[in-house]
Amino acid sequence: KDMKPFVVNFSDIGIDFKGNHIVRKYNDIKHIFKTTDPTLERENPVIYEVFEGPIQEKEGELMFLITILYPGTVNGEFFMTKGHYHTVENTAEVYLGLRGKGLILCQTKKGEFEAVEIGPNKVVYIPPFWAHRTVNISDEPLIFFAVYPAHAGHDYETVEKEGFKKRIFRGDNGILFVEQ
Ligand code: 6PG
Ligand code: NI
């Protein structure tokens, strides 16, 4: 049936967001990190969660969501999302930072790589054909809003096979980019 205009309230994340709630715990995604941590394996904390708007995944619609990426490291490697290309590759995405500080790692199948900052008042534009992964480089939850064409879909497999060019670690004075 046709949708009517509606509003959701950011301050009610998890209450007012009536769509899918995706929760990724450490043991679900531990293979994306360079090393494993037995303590994290035992405690299996939530690394990030996504609250999607109640939108159908079809052309013409815009999916919107909020991601909360918790702070922490796996032996110094900052918590991050799995990362993906969109299955319909010619689809862009916009992120708006709400809280915390992070990096969006972006890369193409041709081998281009960029890392851009996200945080409050920062809008990140991810063009079509660029894979994207978010890294929390702060000590508080990184929260951002995102919008993309609702039919885009997620290709996680390519990233699982090829990884991202760089990994982000906590350094003695700042962050370290490490070749994968
Ligand atoms: C999307 C967005 C974004 C992303 C989450 C979790 O296309 O849906 O890029 O919402 O899905 O931040 O990241 P992963 O989907 O890579 O686990
Ligand atoms: Ni995306």
User: Residue 159's domain is classified under what CATH number?
Assistant: 2.60.120.10
Q: Which residues lie with the beta carbon below 6 Å from any ligand 1 atom?
A: 50, 65, 67, 81-84, 93, 132, 134, 146, 148, 154
Ligand 2 mean position, distance from CA 84 (Å): 6
| Amino acid 162: pLDDT | 96
Residue 1 forms part of a structural domain? no
Atom number of ligand 1 nearest to Cα 83: 16
Residue 75 forms part of a structural domain? yes
Residue 134 forms part of a structural domain? yes
Residue 47 forms part of a structural domain? yes
Residue 5 forms part of a structural domain? no
| Amino acid 8: pLDDT | 87
Q: pLDDT 10s digit of each residue in the chain, 180 long? A: 688 999 888 777 777 888 999 999 999 999 999 999 999 999 999 999 999 999 999 999 999 999 999 999 999 999 999 999 999 999 999 999 999 999 999 999 999 999 999 999 999 999 999 999 999 999 999 999 999 999 999 999 999 999 999 999 999 989 999 998
Query: What total number of domains does the chain contain?
Result: 1
| Amino acid 15: pLDDT | 77
Containing domain of residue 157, as a range?
Answer: 10-179
Residue 3 forms part of a structural domain? no
| Amino acid 18: pLDDT | 86
In angstroms, rounded to a whole number, what is the distance separating the alpha carbons of residues 3 and 21? 20
In angstroms, rounded to a whole number, what is the distance separating the alpha carbons of residues 3 and 167? 41
Residue 157: phi and psi, rounded to 5, are: -65, -40
